[in-house]
Amino acid sequence: MKGKTISINNYSIFYREAGNPENETILLLHGFPSSSHMYREIINELSDKYHLVAPDYIGFGLSDMPLVSEFEYTFENITKSVSDFIETLGLKSFYLLMHDYGGPIGFRIATTYPSYIKGLIIQNANAYMEGIGEWGMKIGTFKKNNDIEGLLKFKDYLISLEGLKDQYLNEASNPDKVDPISYLTDKAFLNRTNANEVQTALFSDYGSNFPKYTEWQEYFKNHQPKTLVLWGKNDRYFNQNGAKEYSKDLQNIEMHFFEGGHFMLEEYAKEATELITNFIN
């Protein structure tokens, strides 16, 4: 696996790449509050069979983090930078692996470039209102009540070391399998100057994804991409109902549930790689 950087619209974007570009490509889009680091085991396990590319979004990981006054941190703009990344690398055919924030970014890409998509691999990434879990509803209540102070306090908790450990460990079936480097790496990235403001902006913009759900569901119905769903059942952001809803619109779908949470790959990377290999083959 190599760590690389590329200039996209004058911003440096870091990405991890492994495997032979002649093989099938998997584009891996990370979630909140992490980076492409979350896919390190998946990338290493699959690199002998596939070409894997995992970017850090602008404002995340090792990519540039411009001030919120210089770059408008919305899901539309993040998607545009990822789309430009795809075009710059010349990726024209790939499987799309999405986690959390990777869902609204990836589904926007899929609806814009449906011919690029060989298949979808969905890991706790939501596209249905039925999938909003305990924490998702909590965030929604803050917004509905215009409780900005409550929303920001909850966001601050989620990106604190205590909150990160909560997400990684308290949803896990076997916390001993979770490598501390995962949440410590996330925390190191979130300690960067301006990171709090970036996360606040994206938290505030998350509601822009809900009106897109119908469009994404139409994409599922009309294009019928083959789909693999990998879901940690204990996820407090997105519940199991969100996973099951995909089967209403997709005909060629395979679904697997795990006794884990939002970051179920921490415990089940080996199982996930086997399922991904079987799915693509």
Q: Which sequence positions are flagged as catalytic?
A: 262
For tokens 């995909």, the residue is 246
Find all residues with CB under 8 Å of 92, minimum gap 6, and list them: 116
State the Cα–Cα distance between residues 46 and 25, nearest whole angstrom: 11
CA-CA distance, 152 to 143, in Å (whole number)?
10
Distance of alpha carbon 94 from alpha carbon 28, whole angstroms? 10
Which residues, in sequence order, are CB contacts of 3 under 8 Å at separation 6+?
A: 14, 15, 16, 62
Phi, psi dihedral angles at 146 (to 5 degrees): 55, 35
The gap between the terminal CA atoms of the chain, to the nearest Å, is 22
Give dist(CA 78, CA 105) in Å, integer.
Answer: 7
Cβ neighbour number for residue 102 with a 10 Å cutoff? 28
SS (H, E, C) 188-233: HHHCCCCHHHHHHHHHHHHHHHHHHHHHHHHHHHHHCCCEEEEEEC
Judge whether 95 and 89 are in contact, CB under 8 Å: no
Q: Which residues contact 236 (CB under 8 A, 6 or more apart)?
A: 133, 134, 135, 136, 171, 261, 262
